[in-house]
Amino acid sequence: MTAIGALIGLLVSVLLIIKKVAPTYSLIAGAIVGGLLGGLPLTDTVRVMTEGVKDVTPAVIRILTAGVLSGVLIKTGAAATLSNAIIRTLGERRVFFALALATMLLCAVGVFIDVAVITVAPIALSIGRRLGISPSVLLIAMVGGGKCGNIISPNPNTIIAAENFGADLSSVMFYNVLPAVVGLLFTVFVVVRLIPDKLVKGKVTEEVAEEKELPSLFGSLVAPVVTIILLSLRPLFDITVDPLIALPIGGVCGILCMRQWRNILPSMEYGLQKMSSVAILLIGTGTIAGVIKNSTLKDWILQALGQAHFDEVMIAPVSGALMSAATASTTAGATLASASFADTILAVGISAAWGAAMVNSGATVLDHLPHGSFFHATGGVCELTFRERLKLIPYETLIGAVLAASTTLLCLVL
């Protein structure tokens, strides 16, 4: 099947997403167009689409069970407790570091990046009003921290990358720890300083937040700590606890220790709702991933990298970045890149864990473009206009590029 057909299919998907068509339907439509224009008959087009969906099915199951942990952290108030504790500990003088670290750690323990930003944003805006800091700068600190946490988290993007490469999830998370730290420091000490920090003038209204009774810090830590311990058993003691088991157990242990067992059903329902949208999106991504995988697009990219005299190791981060640009989603980008290029990346001698780690960090480079939901959700919660939110894209891209470059350099060195 020709690469041109696959590219046109991908372009159709992007255009439909921009036109506000449901992303899953956009991706399925793009897959059909790509297969037919690529030279496949309708029956073969459907076959490669369904084969692509089969490839992502194990990850879909794991992502749905991850909703237990995510739902518990958010619905019990544990995520708010953790972010409050970090910001209070570091203080207002280190506001950017505090916000970036809070968002990073929330993502790292399994909270979706958009939910992490939404959780931290009210605290950030309150501090911003007191100190006269532009919401744009506050948002960049949170988004940068979220991207860093996202590449070391048991979130869908990491799960799907590990699954498609056949790598151990905890190893993929561990390999990106140092790049995440580099990205955090780069966000706080470089990127934040690049943005024109215009003081917010006018009357400062101190909003009284609706304060519900939050759980203790100890109780809030139980769910993520138990999850991390269970996932660490394989690399430390060769005891395999699949994320499908580890993530729900962590969530249940957390809600029991917080003595909020009455909230376990609402938490699970909330988590399932959040993860269902991702799971449905992955089915759509699986269809177009099947088309791309069966096309000559991989050969085109390999040729382009060869002519540009790039090392073959660059296939992983570049494919992650390109697919994240096409879908404006870390999860969909990591899915497309890993499903389409895993075999090629492994064939050049890159280990499964490093390949998944580089694809995952590469998928943060352009996952914030306007045809995705993350762009609008984060801009809305910080009360930014479309134009103001648009101006932040270069800074977000820079952070993602540093994450991808750090992972790639670490892979080359080690």
The pLDDT tens digits of the residues spanning 83-103 come to: 788 778 877 678 899 999 989
d(CA 277, CA 329): 13
- Tell me what the mean pLDDT of segment 118-135 comes to: 79
Per-residue model confidence (pLDDT) at position 199: 38
pLDDT for 380 beyond 90: no
d(CA 93, CA 97): 9
Mean pLDDT of the chain: 85
Sign, CA dihedral 286-288-291-293, equals negative
pLDDT for 289 beyond 50: yes
Per-residue model confidence (pLDDT) at position 406: 96
Per-residue model confidence (pLDDT) at position 298: 67
CB 178 within 8 A of CB 145: no
Tokens, residue 130: 């007191």
The pLDDT tens digits of the residues spanning 326-365 come to: 878 898 889 888 988 898 899 988 999 999 999 999 999 9
User: pTM, whole model, 2 decimals?
Assistant: 0.75
Residue 132: band (very low, low, confident or very high) from pLDDT cuts 50, 70, 90:
confident
d(CA 281, CA 148): 23
Please give the tally of structural domains in the chain.
Answer: 1
The pLDDT tens digits of the residues spanning 137-195 come to: 999 999 999 999 999 988 889 999 999 999 999 999 999 999 999 999 999 999 988 88
Per-residue model confidence (pLDDT) at position 200: 37
Segments forming the whole domain that contains residue 139: 3-413
